């Protein structure tokens, strides 16, 4: 089967004028999905619901500096490529910034070919430099491992949280890959929004791959985060399940041997290692402990979480 590459999404924070209109037209004509905002706060909130591949920010926009700072200091989406759209006469003033929080600059006088070139170059660099998951735009394994190591080394009171979906294969087989992908994206939105709201800049969220996620939160808010994620997930996941299956409480599908069986509805399990209680020396050790916890929490049935209470592995 031929796989279709996902459409690249570009979020633009801009002031409506003929310059921006021409740039949007150029990108749209080449197949990019461009969605735009004139308000910085609204644009930032949208990133947590539908993260883009690239961000373009115009210096004509109110609070553009604050917006860039929020993006590049954000614990989850700071890896997203950010291009600053400005006029050439602003170059001198931009050079006076001690820390210019953008990845590239695009002048408003740029020709269509240059606009496309800058966007494609930034797209290529992000592919090589980052390991963001293409479905959710969340940081991938390399960044996750680096954050686990950094958190362990800091010896602060944080929790390493490993989350995955239960019975996802049965769900995927029953409803198809498109709805399976939507369940993955929905889960990502729930985790990122809860972690951001409760832990703010102290949290981190990553996508290991498939239906496996990972997040880091301060120990004191771990319970609240897990409970809120589960509550939101169980509430929203019902919209992706047919009425017939929801009423009877299970899905009929085939197991890995091709035998028809009844599977419970989609749920999630969270294995939590509280570093204020359990001493972990390296990421591999954390994975081993999390694997044991996952086996235990999955036996409970439904959506649940379990926090490791042992003082050592």
Statement to judge: residues 27 and 63 lie in one domain: yes
Mapped onto helix, strand or coil, the DSSP state of residue 1 is: coil
Statement to judge: residues 83 and 117 lie in one domain: yes
Indicate whether 108 belongs to any domain.
yes
The pTM assigned to this predicted structure is: 0.75
Indicate whether 237 belongs to any domain.
yes
Tens-digit pLDDT profile for residues 34-73 = 988 999 999 998 888 888 989 999 989 989 989 998 888 8
Statement to judge: residues 95 and 221 lie in one domain: no
Rounded CA-CA distance 33/31 in Å is 7
pLDDT > 60? residue 98: no
Count the domains in the chain.
Answer: 2
Q: What is the CATH number of the domain that holds 220?
A: 3.30.70.270
Statement to judge: residues 76 and 146 lie in one domain: no
Statement to judge: residues 23 and 172 lie in one domain: no
Statement to judge: residues 170 and 298 lie in one domain: yes
pLDDT band at 4 (very low <50, low <70, confident <90, very high): very low
Do 242 and 144 contact (CB within 8 A), yes or no? no
Sign of the torsion angle spanned by Cα atoms 215, 217, 223, 227? negative
Q: Which of 108, 129, 150 delimits the end of a domain? A: 129
Statement to judge: residues 175 and 118 lie in one domain: no
Residue whose structure tokens are 């994620």: 229
Tens-digit pLDDT profile for residues 118-140 = 898 887 776 545 577 888 989 88
Rounded CA-CA distance 156/149 in Å is 12
Tens-digit pLDDT profile for residues 156-202 = 899 999 999 999 999 999 999 999 999 999 999 999 999 999 987 78
Where b means 16+ CB within 10 Å and e means fewer, 203-215 reads bbbbbbeebbbbb
Tens-digit pLDDT profile for residues 264-287 = 999 999 999 999 999 898 888 999
Query: What is the mean pLDDT of the segment spanning 22-29?
Result: 90
Tens-digit pLDDT profile for residues 5-14 = 567 899 999 9
DSSP-assigned letter for residue 88: G
Indicate whether 313 belongs to any domain.
no
Q: Which of 80, 103, 129 delimits the end of a domain? A: 129
String of DSSP letters for 3-64: PPPPPPEEEEE---SHHHHHHHHHHHHTT-EEEEES-HHHHHHHHTTS--SEEEEETTSTTH
Range of the domain at 184: 141-308
Indicate whether 4 belongs to any domain.
no
Statement to judge: residues 75 and 32 lie in one domain: yes
Given this model, what pLDDT does residue 11 score?
A: 93
Statement to judge: residues 103 and 187 lie in one domain: no
pLDDT band at 91 (very low <50, low <70, confident <90, very high): confident
Which of 137 and 290 is assigned the larger pLDDT? Answer: 290
Given this model, what pLDDT does residue 124 score?
A: 73
């Amino acid at each position: 089967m031929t796989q279709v590459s996902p459409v690249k999404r570009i979020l633009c924070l801009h002031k409506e004028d003929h310059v921006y209109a021409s740039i949007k037209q150029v990108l749209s004509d080449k197949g990019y999905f461009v969605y735009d905002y004139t308000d910085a706060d609204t644009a930032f909130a949208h990133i947590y619901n539908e993260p883009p591949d690239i961000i373009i920010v115009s210096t004509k926009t109110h609070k553009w500096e604050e917006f860039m700072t929020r993006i590049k200091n954000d614990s989850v989406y700071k890896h997203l490529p950010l291009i600053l759209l400005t006029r050439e006469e602003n170059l001198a003033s931009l050079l006076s910034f001690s820390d210019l929080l953008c990845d590239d600059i695009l002048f408003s006088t740029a020709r269509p070919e240059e606009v496309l070139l800058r966007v494609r170059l930034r797209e290529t660099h992000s592919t090589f430099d980052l390991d963001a998951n293409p479905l959710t735009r969340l940081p991938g394994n390399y960044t996750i491992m680096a954050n686990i190591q950094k958190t362990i080394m800091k010896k602060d009171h944080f929790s390493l949280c490993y989350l995955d979906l239960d019975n996802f294969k049965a769900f995927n087989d029953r409803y198809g890959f498109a709805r399976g992908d939507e369940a993955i994206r929905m889960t990502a939105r729930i985790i990122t929004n809860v972690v951001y709201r409760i832990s703010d800049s102290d949290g981190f969220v990553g996508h290991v791959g498939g239906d496996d996620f990972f997040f880091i939160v301060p120990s004191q808010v771990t319970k609240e985060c897990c409970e809120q994620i589960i509550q939101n997930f169980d509430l929203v996941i019902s919209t992706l399940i047919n009425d017939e299956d929801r009423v009877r409480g299970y899905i009929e599908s085939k197991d890995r041997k091709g035998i028809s069986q009844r599977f419970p509805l989609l749920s999630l399990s969270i294995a939590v290692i509280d570093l204020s209680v359990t001493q972990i020396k390296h990421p591999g050790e954390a994975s081993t402990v999390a694997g044991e916890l996952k086996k235990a929490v999955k036996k409970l049935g439904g959506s649940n979480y379990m926090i490791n209470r042992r003082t050592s592995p």
